[in-house]
């Protein structure tokens, strides 16, 4: 009996020694792989924050509803209809999608030597690259008529199309918020629309170039510094810069853009050319705003509109003849009442 117990204890002791040796070997193997292949670690792309109506379409065509910390695949098409959607790449790159935006995100290489490419199909995004890229790393954003590359910066890009009869008012030298009201949908320039891309640098430097209708580079590089913007226009005849590089005013951004800038400012204390207090005040004054249509003393209807977006009158009329009093214009910068003026 004692002999059996002694043998059993010996076996258990040997088993423990074997398990310990195997564990040490596994740890050594893992450490060795990290040491040897450390610069080959995979990129980490994930949904950092999301709420509202959004979707992710994988390369195989399958569509999923994104959720926080969801891992993304290179080549995913990510869309935000309305709400909030922030993507995190590696540990130092963030992509903020504005409403009605669709991108295709591609990424390869390692976290140290990376290639990140964003195809902006429609809408607008803010790009935040906190740490300067290595000499072998690339971060670029492309639209159909423009390309932007950076080493480490914060910038906003927007793409939209307009009808020819709206073309003259589409983008002025200081416009940063008219696009939403003039956008005619995604897609290239045709006989019925003109394609615009705007790039606004909030920190650092962005290098832009033209992309011709045949996909070739225009080789017309422009360095866009902090507080400056460029506009690129493409119609059926040509792709060109619309005027010279110009200043833009952060106060003209819509509420969602200002919200994202507030997140960046709060989390990273970046300059952005504006203080946290100024951003908070701008957000309070950015809307959205409520427009109330009144027929005498009765509320006929209400709509909610973003800053600088046109106010559309109700389809129905309170009386057989008359009109709504739009003498103030068709955009609002505060909660507004519009009165019905009956016909005589």
Architecture of domain 45-282: Sandwich (2.60)
Q: What's the pLDDT score for residue 213?
A: 84
CA dist 167 and 151 (Å) reads: 33
Per-state percent for the chain, helix, strand, coil, to nearest 5? 20, 40, 35
pLDDT reported for residue 16: 63
Q: What is the pTM of this model?
A: 0.76
Q: What is the distance between the alpha carbons of residues 23 and 321, in angstroms, rounded to a whole number?
A: 86
Q: Which residues are CB-neighbours of 43 under 8 A, at least 6 positions away?
A: 74, 89, 90, 107, 108, 109, 110, 111, 114
Q: What is the pLDDT of residue 185?
A: 45
pLDDT for 274 equals: 86
* pLDDT on residue 215: 86
Domain boundaries, the chain: 2-40, 45-282, 289-342
Confidence (pLDDT) at 48: 97
Measured CA distances, 75 to 55, 78, 116 (Å): 14, 9, 11
State how far the Cα of 127 lies from the Cα of 92, in Å rounded to an integer: 11
Q: DSSP letters of 80-133? A: EEEEEEEEEETTTEEEEEPTTEEEEEEEEE-SSSEEEEEEEEEEEEEEEE-SPP
Per-residue pLDDT of the chain (344 residues; tens, 9 = 90+): 554 555 555 556 566 666 665 555 555 444 443 333 344 456 789 999 999 999 999 999 999 999 999 999 999 999 999 999 999 998 889 999 999 999 999 998 876 788 899 999 999 999 999 988 888 889 999 999 999 999 889 999 999 998 876 665 555 444 454 444 344 444 444 456 899 999 999 999 999 999 988 888 889 999 999 999 999 999 888 899 999 999 999 988 988 999 999 999 988 878 888 888 888 888 888 888 899 999 988 898 999 888 777 888 888 888 888 889 888 777 888 888 999 998 86
Predicted local distance difference test score (pLDDT) of residue 36: 34
CA atoms within 13 A on the CB side of 304: 4
């Amino acid at each position: 009996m004692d002999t059996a117990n002694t043998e059993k204890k010996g076996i258990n002791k040997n088993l423990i020694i074997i398990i310990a040796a195997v564990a040490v070997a596994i740890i050594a193997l893992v450490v060795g792989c990290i040491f040897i292949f450390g610069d080959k670690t995979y990129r980490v792309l994930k949904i950092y924050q999301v709420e509202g109506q959004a979707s992710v379409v994988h390369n195989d065509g399958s569509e999923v509803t994104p959720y926080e910390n969801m891992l993304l695949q290179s080549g995913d098409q990510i869309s935000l209809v309305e709400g909030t959607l922030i993507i995190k790449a590696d540990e130092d790159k963030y992509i903020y999608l504005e409403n009605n935006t669709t991108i295709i995100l591609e990424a390869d290489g390692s976290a140290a030597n990376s290639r990140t490419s964003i195809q902006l199909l429609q809408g607008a995004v803010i790009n935040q690259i906190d740490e300067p890229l290595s000499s072998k790393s690339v971060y670029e954003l492309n639209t159909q008529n423009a390309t932007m590359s950076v080493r480490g910066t914060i910038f906003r890009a927007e793409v939209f199309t307009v009808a020819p009869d709206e073309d003259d008012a589409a983008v002025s030298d200081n416009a940063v918020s008219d696009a939403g009201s003039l956008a005619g949908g995604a897609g290239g320039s045709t006989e019925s629309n003109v394609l615009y891309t705007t790039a606004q640098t909030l920190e650092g430097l962005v290098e832009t170039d033209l992309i011709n209708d045949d996909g070739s580079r225009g080789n017309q590089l422009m360095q866009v510094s902090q507080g400056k913007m460029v506009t690129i226009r493409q119609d059926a005849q040509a792709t060109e810069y619309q005027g010279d590089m110009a200043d833009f005013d952060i106060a003209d951004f819509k509420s969602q853009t200002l919200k994202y800038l507030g997140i960046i400012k709060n989390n990273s204390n970046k300059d952005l050319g504006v203080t946290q207090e100024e951003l908070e005040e701008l957000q309070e004054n950015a809307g959205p705003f409520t427009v109330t249509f009144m027929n005498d003393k009765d509320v006929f209807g209400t709509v909610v509109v973003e800053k600088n977006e046109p106010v559309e009158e109700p389809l129905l009329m309170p009386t057989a003849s008359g009109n709504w009093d739009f003498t103030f214009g068709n955009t609002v910068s505060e909660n507004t009442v519009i009165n019905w003026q009956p016909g005589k």
